[in-house]
């Protein structure tokens, strides 16, 4: 079934000028702005674990998955502790099965200091033929325990310098470069000082590299607090992926889509339907359909947030298959066409993650 929805459209659709009309950032304050796209030497490319590829080569993509994690606090994690061969042997079969669903790329969203494992990803990519994409950035959620203490007092500029260095020169003295920026914030009513600096650092890194900002966010308030910071730095919302947006509201999704942001409904690996029917599963359907019905099919991203081979916790691996075995059949049953599913799984990831700077009209 899915082999028919992996057709890739022309990369020329990426070379656009995105105009955003009036919207509200904070109550009573209105902004009118225009977003333009600058170019970098990696324009129209996707940065995989094995180097850059043309954007059209990304194919059907899972945009939020985790194959490996280390849940120890940042200052306690130690890559030397990881049994790479055991992890590889355990994880590989779960990746190989994805070939039959037509998967060509996986965005591995485990950040630095939480188990980002580039050696494992390279080995899995080589063995499976699936393109892995890793990240740079810091994970601020859970009260900043996955940020090294050395960075607590850093300015946004210092954080950005570290992330930009990884993009320019490689991660951990390797030739592996990140393909997106992964950050996170707590679901609070306002951003704390450190998490505000993380978001600002992501904006600065985007301006220097063109990498898309993927933020573990959840609720509406946290999403729009981050947009406020990006706008201060003249970065367009179209450079921002609202991760775990299934924890937000439909009204928030539509507001974000009108700004040009990406709505990532990405916890499908944790939905356990009873006879392919559950309230959680239908919540995803309702949210996806609301965006489509309001003309925002082109802002939807879907994934499962599955995997989770975790250091020191045994192997209770969650398969990366529920999207294909459960949710896509439900979409088809409820009026989505194969062309529309192709847009969500092929065209939207390509458009969201192709390297290019997306700045507001008065940006530099």
Question: What is the domain-level CATH number for residue 124?
Answer: 3.20.20.140
User: How many CB atoms are located within 10 Å of the residue 24 CB?
Assistant: 12
Least confident range from 118-122, 200-204, 268-272: namely 268-272
Say what the pLDDT of residue 234 is: 98
> How many residues can be counted in the chain?
364
Two structure tokens written together for 39: 């170019």
> In this model, does residue 39 exceed pLDDT 60?
no
Mean pLDDT, the chain, whole residue set? 89
Q: Helix, strand or coil for residue 214?
A: strand
> In this model, does residue 344 exceed pLDDT 70?
yes
Q: How confident is the model at residue 18 (pLDDT cuts 50, 70, 90)?
A: very low
User: Regarding beta strands 60-69 and 300-302, do their DSSP bridges make them parallel or antiparallel, or are they unpaired?
Assistant: unpaired
In the block, residue with structure tokens 């203490």? 149
Mean pLDDT within 322-329: 96
Mean pLDDT within 274-303: 90
Nearest CA to 24 out of 219, 232, 224 is that of 224
Position 81 in a domain: yes
Say what the pLDDT of residue 186 is: 93
Predicted model pTM: 0.89
> In this model, does residue 275 exceed pLDDT 90?
no
Say what the pLDDT of residue 302 is: 98
Position 22 in a domain: no
In the block, residue with structure tokens 């954080």? 159
Per DSSP (E only), the strands in 122-244 are 131-133, 135-136, 180-184, 213-216, 240-243
Q: How many domains does the chain have?
A: 1
Least confident range from 153-157, 186-190, 283-287, 325-329: namely 186-190
Say what the pLDDT of residue 273 is: 64
Say what the pLDDT of residue 32 is: 41
Say what the pLDDT of residue 361 is: 78
Position 208 in a domain: yes
Position 7 in a domain: no
Position 15 in a domain: no
CA–CA separation, 160 and 270 (whole Å) = 33
DSSP 267-312: -GGG---SSS--HHHHHHHHHHHHHHHTT-GGGEEE----EEEETT
Position 248 in a domain: yes
Mean pLDDT within 305-322: 92
Q: How confident is the model at residue 170 (pLDDT cuts 50, 70, 90)?
A: very high
Residues whose CB is less than 8 angstroms from the CB of residue 76 and which lie 6 or more positions away in sequence, other chains included: none
CA–CA separation, 206 and 13 (whole Å) = 21
Q: How confident is the model at residue 364 (pLDDT cuts 50, 70, 90)?
A: very low
For residue 241, the enclosing domain spans: 45-360
Position 10 in a domain: no
């Amino acid at each position: 079934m899915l082999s028919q929805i992996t057709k890739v459209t022309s990369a020329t659709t990426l070379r656009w000028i995105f105009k955003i009309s009036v919207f509200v950032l904070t109550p009573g304050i209105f902004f009118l702005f225009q977003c333009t796209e600058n170019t970098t030497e990696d324009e129209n490319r996707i940065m995989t674990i094995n180097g850059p590829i043309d954007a059209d080569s990304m194919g059907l993509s899972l945009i939020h998955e985790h194959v490996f994690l280390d849940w120890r606090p940042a200052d306690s994690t130690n890559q030397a502790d990881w049994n790479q061969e055991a992890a590889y042997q355990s994880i590989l079969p779960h990746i190989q099965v994805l070939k039959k669903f037509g998967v060509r790329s996986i965005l591995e969203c485990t950040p630095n200091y939480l188990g980002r494992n580039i050696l494992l990803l390279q080995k899995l990519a080589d063995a499976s033929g699936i393109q892995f994409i890793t990240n740079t950035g810091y994970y601020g959620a859970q009260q900043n325990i996955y940020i090294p203490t050395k960075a607590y007092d850093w300015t946004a500029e210092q954080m950005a310098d570290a992330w930009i260095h990884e993009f320019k020169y490689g991660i951990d003295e390797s030739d592996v470069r990140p393909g997106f920026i992964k950050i996170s914030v707590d679901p609070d009513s306002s951003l704390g000082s450190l998490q505000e600096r993380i978001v600002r650092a992501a904006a600065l890194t985007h301006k220097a590299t063109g990498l898309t900002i993927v933020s573990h966010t959840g609720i509406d308030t946290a999403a729009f607090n981050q947009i406020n910071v990006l706008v201060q730095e003249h970065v367009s919302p179209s450079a921002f992926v609202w991760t775990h947006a299934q924890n937000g509201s439909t009204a928030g999704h539509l507001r974000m889509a009108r700004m040009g942001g990406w709505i990532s409904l990405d916890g499908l690996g944790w939905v356990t339907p009873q006879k392919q029917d559950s309230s959680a599963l239908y919540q995803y359907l309702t949210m996806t359909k609301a965006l489509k019905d309001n003309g925002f099919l082109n802002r939807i991203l879907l994934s499962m947030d599955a995997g989770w081979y975790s250091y020191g916790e045994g192997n209770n691996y969650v398969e990366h298959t529920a999207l294909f075995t459960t949710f896509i059949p439900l979409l088809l049953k409820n009026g989505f066409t194969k062309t529309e599913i192709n847009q969500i799984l092929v065209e939207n990831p390509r458009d969201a993650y192709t390297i290019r700077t997306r700045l507001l009209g008065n940006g530099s």
